[in-house]
Amino acid sequence: MMNLEQIGRVPTTGDNCAIATRILTAGTAVQTPTTTFNLSHNILEGHRFAIEPIAAGEPLLSWGMPFGRALRDIAPGEYICNERVLNALSGRALDFELPAAPNFEDDLAVYQFDRQTFKPAPPLPQRPDPRTFMGYQRSGGRGVGTRNMIVLLGVNALAGGFVQQLENAVRPL
């Protein structure tokens, strides 16, 4: 049996889903402060699983925010996956079985800004000690400056070649 803290993270009190911190094996028994359950499927690192019963139509919560709505009752230990995740994973050569159907659909609340009721917070007081930074004195009375860096970061394997070509193109500048 594994404690929840050993295999996942619950970002905020009140969340009904946890985030796997490593690949988890189907059938693993998980103990929380209030219950014990078994994982329904293998769960990939970074993917979510239910830690509480979630009734059909109820929101799925992570980081204190709803990110989806249950399509059916979801039991603790179930792999949380929507149709998009199942479609993406079904195209991969996985050595484990995926859930047969999604158990939630995306349902992101849209924030509506209300100018009539908005009240800005008071400004923070100035610091008693002046802040400094590592700059340099510019010539000709032009004040101070900093050394700026441009970072080109490929966020996935497909972007690597493009980022290298972009670097070659902008290096002379």
| pLDDT for the residue numbered 110 | 81
Number of domains in the chain: 1
- Residue of 104, 32, 100 whose CA lies nearest to 74: 104
Mean pLDDT over 126-154 rounds to 85
Contact 15, 48 (CB under 8 A): no
Mean pLDDT over 49-68 rounds to 96
CATH of the domain at 75: 2.30.130.110
Number of other CB atoms surrounding residue 16 within 10 Å: 21
Contact 47, 9 (CB under 8 A): no
| pLDDT for the residue numbered 130 | 81
pLDDT 10s digits, 118-135 = 999 999 998 888 888 888
- pLDDT confidence tier of residue 22, bands split at 50, 70 and 90: very high
Return mean pLDDT, the chain: 92
Q: Which two tokens stand for residue 66?
A: 């709803």
| pLDDT for the residue numbered 4 | 96
Contact 59, 106 (CB under 8 A): no
Mean pLDDT over 53-77 rounds to 96
pLDDT 10s digits, 77-131 = 999 999 999 999 998 989 999 999 999 999 987 888 999 999 999 999 988 888 8
Domain holding 83, by residue range, is 1-173
pLDDT 10s digits, 38-56 = 999 999 999 999 999 999 9
| pLDDT for the residue numbered 132 | 82
User: When comparing pLDDT for 111 and 165, which is higher?
Assistant: 165
What is the percentage of the chain residues whose pLDDT exceeds 70? 100
Q: Which string of DSSP letters, residue by residue, matches 40-63? A: SS-B-TT-EEESS-B-TTPEEEET
Stated pTM of the model: 0.66
